[in-house]
Structure 1
């Protein structure tokens, strides 16, 4: 989500950034005279190479082998599959408060904020008066990343199932104005401005309101079924479940049961309560769901002036690096009286007691993790997998899965000037672990190697291990003295700083092309203060002014772009990779040095965010936007793409100007997609973000989330629903609701093709 300013508690740290390190930005590492021949002549590993390695193939030594008699001729190979082709008319840009899809498709609302997921729970009134105690059995708010887990008649995971499954989705945050009769109630509220509904201080004094908010964060698990041509969710399914800020969770991995995680709730550091700000997601090959805690830091209350004298030098460095300061974005810590189990007080991360086991001074350390959930076992306890590091996790995308090889997850840290990470398991994948539940997670996700990316000037890159004793991560480090393995994963951002990782422009969703293993990362946008014109180069080559509404200057790279890389030899455990820039967001009317990908009115976009490759149609990529720069022309959107491969474009010189200074910048760009390779498929309602996408086992149903319609209105004090900027999906004067769509093709075919 996009937030106004840093002095407003509704701001998102991903828009501001907390990285003060002097590590070079991605831009600074690209030489101005890179050789295209050198960059791409090194070769990119292919899926065929990976298969050869998996089957034991490869080069030999220096002696001539004994040649056996030739075998009988093999039968001719099957004909290669026909190349994919986008087969729909592009959707036009729109500012209407509706969902628009191509002719020949139907988009239906499946699951909305507040919808009941248990028998006996009443339909949602959508006026702020529903009983707060029922919200642990209702859909959460701000639907986000999600996965469809096909399920067979024996209630087991069946990835190919086309008619029944568990849909598991994140609920990133809330829009308080739409949840209570007249918005959040506070004593002596102080707003960030005369017109903003964002509280910067005060005291919440209606516990029921806060209970609603506790429950509306987190994750939903719902059973969905297809009957005829219609999808619906089963309200009384035994699999339905809400995981939220009060759900008990266990820690595993190197930080578990260490002093860093000890609190009054868990005096041995083995568990905590809840998950929140769950943005992008991930999966495992054994059939569990990964939810990722992104912008969690701003929920905690820590008044710096009173808490700083009680903190060590290391603690203060960690607080600054993760942006933990302020009143807490929802003022949860201020509700009085507190409960016996400190439901409210645990959001105050100040030193208040005699020791860490007497207060919640370590409460912030219990968030910022990848959390594993077993959707097929409703009684299972989620686990926070600390080996994958603590930062603003945007997602955890599973790389190629090969028997006998390690597993890998690629992860972005969603904030300007943050990094790209990967985690490689120590254990090699054994297909016998399919269906292994949380025990399989213990095997593969608690022991491994965590890396951060460094992008080098010659078009290659290095994966730098985050481990005590290497890459400057030592007890003698002058910026932060690392004590042990738990300290490294808890302060992964500081470890990445020390290792010399490359600063990126808001790394968000990651996606892996199943056809060739190329990894894609959306870089949503940046601004002139984060990357001035003099700091552009190859990987972030544009500096321009995208004028909004014909009058508002937006300088820097407000439309964002997508970076692509491939681990050497198609080996996810490799320590080196190659990269290029796949696609640039821009207005179709922008100059050629801005509209580098030559987008037309049928496929121009801004601020790429969500991103996911189809499993039913390998090579089909879905792109979603979370935009504030192009919203004078269109609402946010979903696009279908057929990307090529790393290195399919060419070298290019871009001319940048800020009106005073003009500079040229050498870069490498992917092949311009044209409308054959990129088309707008859907435009959402007003003020929404398109985020979260999944498909049924046969690819003939596409699930898409619409998040926070009417968000702009929610930033002003408006208690009259007729004045809200959106009324989707109910229409009339109804309050807007985040919701999940199910999209089908009228002829029953594959979506988009």
Structure 2
């Protein structure tokens, strides 16, 4: 029997979340024990500076903060319209809700509806969902479990049709099966059901009026699971580190799991990041010669999820290289349900939160990425080839070859009340050659964390989603939290010890050219209770903003406003979505938009045509002690009696 951890977890996460999502990472030593710099000496002046900033409204009562939040227009573009519009950025902010609230709460004038739910029969021939009659064969054709990233690829020439692509990150086994007593007691069929519930789901959707509908059983619908064939590409494909008994070529691998965030490419495919893959492997001892790598990726001591009972590749003793085949950015062409997805080794192996691509002025593709672990790094990839408008086949080769970099941040030390400075992208692979002494290119790309440790990047506070704003062309990264950082380790980019609430960093490339190796940066949001003088809302009056904790995903509307989802609110509130303008008179005016039900994480969001927010309600009811016989959430309130992770849509009730 594999019991749930009972240790106290930082932030607002349930022990159930930590157990299934990240293999109880909070209760284990931080994997990064390298000597990479913290640059704390540069920040000495900044500590006193930040502490001394008891600016506008620091003494405001919490009740007052919540009451006034959202009383001004969210974006200057909506002012003077004579009443609120149907645009999602034009709303009155909502108040924080207790974690136990089992409701989806939207702003005044908005409503929500489910779009697709766990178990919905999306592939032709799939049976209708029946909680007490689940099978692996059915789940392989039904919408997957905990949904995270949401992407929409529009049909060519058709504005109201498209393909919804969703990551199904992990499962809550004790919420899926009655009588659960531990992973060790799962039947082989139940294990196969959990394996089939991971991966990705592709669903045709169409819009009628204001509402999107899922087209169940449509031709292009697809499930990608732990047994779907994938191809490796890039410089590490075929290397010894990727070769296994089942695949001596090192070029074919089955499945994907732990998929967190992602992005739609300019050429119409979807990227997805394999994140917390380590907890799926049973590792009694690290393989000879890979001890450092297994420790650095959190594999050492992993108990797995009993998958090795039905597939021996999940036992490191049986297949020591199998875990090296996960932790990549994958690319899926949703328009072709028969296509083979690929894992891009050129983009490195991390706990990838996701990847998002922009096209540089010279035509090269640039992808920005975060490695979601305390004290880990931010990365970017620059393609060797150049984007060709309209040539999808060519463009799908862009992420197979290029340069890989890791970020180093330096604070300016100025006592101006702003955490900002300059930075440098340090090369790991450049022009097809390793820039890390003692590492081959294949070693850099498979053991990327170890390689990055050697070049001195900045240890960050859990870099999660990283994306490029389509309006101002700047990069924004959610740094979720880091309770392990001590005072001697703070720097201007990570300015707080025992950081429970996280921050959002903005990166500006010279002339908006992200192929350049230098940049400037600024923290545009330092999260927490606005009463705390250490918080910062891009210069906006703290008495007028919403409290926020643990930013996870970032997104943008057509005005360039920043949208943020949270994961594990350490203020005791339910997770939610927020919007913050990045320019104009309301720059920094953070407002809460939508609140999640009991136990759920907000994931996504995707802002569609500025009129609809598509988002995932992930792991509703994920609360310690909950079970199918004693659920704590009924979301999506469909009468089944069980919580079902779902993608929902939020839109204005009228124009």
- Give TM-score, length-normalised by structure 2: 0.85
8 and 440 in structure 1: CA distance in 2 versus 1, 3 angstrom threshold: closer
Unaligned 5+ runs, structure 1: 37-80, 152-156, 186-196, 339-343, 353-359, 476-481, 544-555, 646-670, 749-753
Q: Match for residue 639 of structure 1?
A: 578
238 and 7 in structure 1: CA distance in 2 versus 1, 3 angstrom threshold: closer
610 and 6 in structure 1: CA distance in 2 versus 1, 3 angstrom threshold: closer
27 and 607 in structure 1: CA distance in 2 versus 1, 3 angstrom threshold: farther
Does structure 2 conserve the Cα–Cα contact (< 8 Å) formed by 1:453 and 1:461?
yes
Cα distance in 2 between the residues matched to 1:322 and 1:557: 22
Q: Match for residue 407 of structure 1?
A: 365
Once the two structures are superposed, the pairs formed by residues 549-568 of structure 1 within 5 Å of their partners are 556-568=498-510
Q: Match for residue 559 of structure 2?
A: 618
Q: Does 1:505 align with 2:505?
A: no
Cα distance in 2 between the residues matched to 1:261 and 1:445: 19
Partner of residue 97 from structure 1, selected from 95, 99, 102: 102
Does structure 1 conserve the Cα–Cα contact (< 8 Å) formed by 2:556 and 2:607?
no
Q: Match for residue 144 of structure 1?
A: 148
How far the C-alpha of 1:207 sits from its partner, in A, is 1.0
Q: Match for residue 678 of structure 1?
A: 590
Q: Match for residue 542 of structure 1?
A: 496
Q: Match for residue 272 of structure 2?
A: 291
Local SS of the residue matching 1:149: strand
Once the two structures are superposed, the pairs formed by residues 293-692 of structure 1 within 5 Å of their partners are 293-304=274-285, 308=286, 311-312=288-289, 315-333=290-308, 335=309, 338=310, 344-350=311-317, 352=318, 360-402=319-361, 404-433=362-391, 435-436=392-393, 439-442=394-397, 444-458=398-412, 459-467=421-429, 473-475=436-438, 482=439, 484-527=440-483, 530-543=484-497, 556-588=498-530, 590-594=531-535, 598-600=541-543, 603-614=546-557, 617-631=558-572, 634-644=573-583, 673=587, 677-692=589-604
112 and 26 in structure 1: CA distance in 2 versus 1, 3 angstrom threshold: farther
Cα distance in 1 between the residues matched to 2:638 and 2:343: 39
239 and 126 in structure 1: CA distance in 2 versus 1, 3 angstrom threshold: same
Partner of residue 622 from structure 2, selected from 711, 714, 725: 711
Q: Match for residue 117 of structure 2?
A: 112
How far the C-alpha of 1:13 sits from its partner, in A, is 6.5
Local SS of the residue matching 1:162: coil
Partner of residue 34 from structure 2, selected from 18, 21, 41: 21
Does structure 2 conserve the Cα–Cα contact (< 8 Å) formed by 1:10 and 1:329?
no
- What are the Cα deviations for residues 485-537 of structure 1, in whole angstroms up to 9, with x where unaligned? 1111001111110011110000011121222211111111111xx21123323
Does structure 1 conserve the Cα–Cα contact (< 8 Å) formed by 2:17 and 2:622?
no
How far the C-alpha of 1:118 sits from its partner, in A, is 2.5
Does structure 1 conserve the Cα–Cα contact (< 8 Å) formed by 2:406 and 2:452?
yes
Once the two structures are superposed, the pairs formed by residues 18-417 of structure 1 within 5 Å of their partners are 18-25=31-38, 27=40, 30=43, 32=45, 83=77, 86-95=89-98, 96-127=101-132, 129-151=133-155, 157-158=156-157, 161-183=158-180, 203-204=184-185, 206-304=187-285, 308=286, 311-312=288-289, 315-333=290-308, 335=309, 338=310, 344-350=311-317, 352=318, 360-402=319-361, 404-417=362-375
Local SS of the residue matching 1:499: coil
Does structure 2 conserve the Cα–Cα contact (< 8 Å) formed by 1:566 and 1:579?
yes
Local SS of the residue matching 1:407: strand
- What are the Cα deviations for residues 167-223 of structure 1, in whole angstroms up to 9, with x where unaligned? 00101111101212223x6xxxxxxxxxxx6x5xxx455111011111110000000
Does structure 1 conserve the Cα–Cα contact (< 8 Å) formed by 2:283 and 2:315?
yes
Unaligned 5+ runs, structure 2: 1-11, 50-74, 80-88, 413-420
2 and 600 in structure 1: CA distance in 2 versus 1, 3 angstrom threshold: same
Cα distance in 1 between the residues matched to 2:634 and 2:129: 15
Does structure 2 conserve the Cα–Cα contact (< 8 Å) formed by 1:298 and 1:326?
no
Cα distance in 2 between the residues matched to 1:622 and 1:594: 18
Cα distance in 1 between the residues matched to 2:591 and 2:44: 33
Q: Match for residue 85 of structure 2?
A: none
How far the C-alpha of 1:82 sits from its partner, in A, is 7.5
583 and 205 in structure 1: CA distance in 2 versus 1, 3 angstrom threshold: closer
How far the C-alpha of 1:449 sits from its partner, in A, is 0.2
- What are the Cα deviations for residues 122-176 of structure 1, in whole angstroms up to 9, with x where unaligned? 321234x22321111111111101211111xxxxx45xx4311100010111110
Q: Could you tell which deviates more after superposition, 733-742 or 288-297?
A: 733-742
Cα distance in 2 between the residues matched to 1:457 and 1:643: 21
How far the C-alpha of 1:672 sits from its partner, in A, is 8.6
Does structure 1 conserve the Cα–Cα contact (< 8 Å) formed by 2:429 and 2:435?
no
How far the C-alpha of 1:243 sits from its partner, in A, is 0.4
- What are the Cα deviations for residues 8-50 of structure 1, in whole angstroms up to 9, with x where unaligned? 676546645310101113656546379x9xxxxxxxxxxxxxx
730 and 7 in structure 1: CA distance in 2 versus 1, 3 angstrom threshold: closer
Local SS of the residue matching 1:466: strand
Q: Match for residue 63 of structure 1?
A: none
- What are the Cα deviations for residues 246-269 of structure 1, in whole angstroms up to 9, with x where unaligned? 000000001111111111221111
Q: Could you tell which deviates more after superposition, 6-15 or 100-109?
A: 6-15
Cα distance in 2 between the residues matched to 1:229 and 1:221: 21
Does structure 1 conserve the Cα–Cα contact (< 8 Å) formed by 2:265 and 2:356?
no
Q: Match for residue 660 of structure 1?
A: none
Cα distance in 1 between the residues matched to 2:267 and 2:185: 43
How far the C-alpha of 1:83 sits from its partner, in A, is 4.0
223 and 733 in structure 1: CA distance in 2 versus 1, 3 angstrom threshold: closer
- What are the Cα deviations for residues 48-89 of structure 1, in whole angstroms up to 9, with x where unaligned? xxxxxxxxxxxxxxxxxxxxxxxxxxxxxxxxx984664211
Q: Does 1:735 align with 2:642?
A: yes
395 and 513 in structure 1: CA distance in 2 versus 1, 3 angstrom threshold: same
How far the C-alpha of 1:4 sits from its partner, in A, is 4.2
Q: Match for residue 418 of structure 2?
A: none
- What are the Cα deviations for residues 567-597 of structure 1, in whole angstroms up to 9, with x where unaligned? 2232111010111111011123x33234666
Q: Match for residue 7 of structure 2?
A: none
Does structure 1 conserve the Cα–Cα contact (< 8 Å) formed by 2:118 and 2:143?
yes
- What are the Cα deviations for residues 629-658 of structure 1, in whole angstroms up to 9, with x where unaligned? 122xx211001121139xxxxxxxxxxxxx
Does structure 2 conserve the Cα–Cα contact (< 8 Å) formed by 1:204 and 1:331?
no
CA RMSD of aligned residues (A): 2.7
